[in-house]
Every structure is written in C-alpha cells, then in structure tokens.
Structure 1
Amino acid sequence: MGKQMTEMLKGTLEGIVLALLTGKPAYGYEITTLLREKGFADIAEGTVYALLVRIEQKGLVDVEKRPSEKGPPRKVYTLNIQGNEYLDEFWRTWSFLAERLEQLREGGN
C-alpha cells in the first residue's frame, strides 16, 4: 500500500470499522478478517486493535466479553446509538467530500 493510501485510510478507518459493525457485533480478529475480505488487506491487526480501543473510549460501541473456545474471553463490539450518530455524520461528510473531489477531478470549480 502506498503512503498516500495509508494516510487516507488513517482518516477514514474509524468510519469503515463502524460501518462493518452496523447490524452485526464482532470481535477484533473478526473485524480484521472482514476488512481483508473487503479489500483492505494491508491493514495490520495492531492498527485495528488500537482503533477499537479508541472507539470504545469515545463511547461509540458497547463491549461485551464472551467466552472463547480458545484462550481468554473475547471482547465483542456492538455499534451503539452514539456510534450510529457518528457513522451517520461520517457518511454525510464522506458524501460532501466525494462530490467536491469529483467536481475537481472533472475540472469544475
């Protein structure tokens, strides 16, 4: 992944992860797997786990510890009301930026 892609992902990864949690709770490794399935193969697991800590601290997800077949209990993340509101704002912002960028690409002002 190029440096430009890495920098752009830093600003959007939070929204991407929250979007993955829409309607389906998931644990860290599962989220990493979903990201890879969606084409975000170069995102390191450590990056995802650090992001999960941040969105938990921001109150965007509810966390429940569930027993694991192997090892310690897993932290399962569920998008909550505050997370849904944040995600709605993320999509509005994304749409605004995408429209403006497309105008610029097409030579418009």
Structure 2
Amino acid sequence: MAIQISSELLEGSILALLKEQDLYGYALTKKVQAVLDVSESTVYPVLRRLTKDDYLKTYDEPFQGRNRRYYQITEAGKFRLAIIQDEWKDYREKIDGVLGDHD
C-alpha cells in the first residue's frame, strides 16, 4: 500500500536537501526518490512552484556541452523550511503523546 505524500512533506524534503547544497534537477530528483516514492514528473512542478514563490532560485552551469539547471534555496526558502520543520515537530510530539497514553 502506498502512502499519499503531502505537498508540504515533498516541499520540506526538497528544501532540506537544498539547504545542504545546490543541486541540479536530476540529482535532486534522485535524492528525493531515495526517501520518497515520487516520480520525476511530480518533482519538477514542485520545483517550479517553489521557484515562483521565491523559495528557490536557479542558475545554469555548463556540463558536457549543455547546461544544467541548479536549484538554490533562498532566505525565504529557509524560513519556509523552518516552518515545515516546526509543524513536523509538533505533529511528532502529538503522535508520541497519543502513543504514550496507551502504555
């Protein structure tokens, strides 16, 4: 059974990876896929939306005769990531509280 991945979880995963280092689209997609069961066709629209919302910016670097588009987190993206992480922490604490009630 596949678990539905929320857009916020996917956004948070992408932002967290990009907080560590800038990545080009394919490499970023592979790193996301190592953690979440998503397709390339799912990741790229999220990257476009995050860029449109100024959470990411892009730049191109030449590689073997073509350009690779790299994604870089912005200050607004770091702030958004902190919000997502806080919400995740609150969620985990609530789950832990519920699970702790049954001991």
The alignment's TM-score, normalised by the length of structure 1, stands at 0.82
Which residue number corresponds to residue 96 of structure 2? 102
Which residue number corresponds to residue 82 of structure 1? 76
Amino acid at match of 2:42: T
How big is each residue's C-alpha offset from its partner over 1:61-87, in whole Å with a ceiling of 9 and x where there is no partner? 1210122326x4221001111111111
Which residue number corresponds to residue 34 of structure 1? 31
Query: Shift of the alpha carbon at 1:23?
Result: 2.7
The alignment's TM-score, normalised by the length of structure 2, stands at 0.86
Where 1:89 maps in the other structure, the secondary structure is helix
Q: Distance in 2 between matches of 1:65 and 1:11?
A: 26
Bigger fraction of residues in strand? 2
Structure 1 outlier segments of 4+, above 6 Å: none
- Which of residues 45, 59, 62 is equivalent to 1:64? 59
Which residue number corresponds to residue 52 of structure 1? 47
- Which of residues 35, 38, 53 is equivalent to 1:43? 38
How big is each residue's C-alpha offset from its partner over 1:22-77, in whole Å with a ceiling of 9 and x where there is no partner? 1300011101111233x32x21001111110010011001210122326x422100
Q: Distance in 1 between matches of 2:55 and 2:33?
A: 22
Tell me if structure 1 keeps the 8 A contact 2:57–2:73.
Answer: yes
Number of equivalent positions = 102
| Unpaired runs of at least 5, structure 2 | none
Amino acid at match of 1:102: D
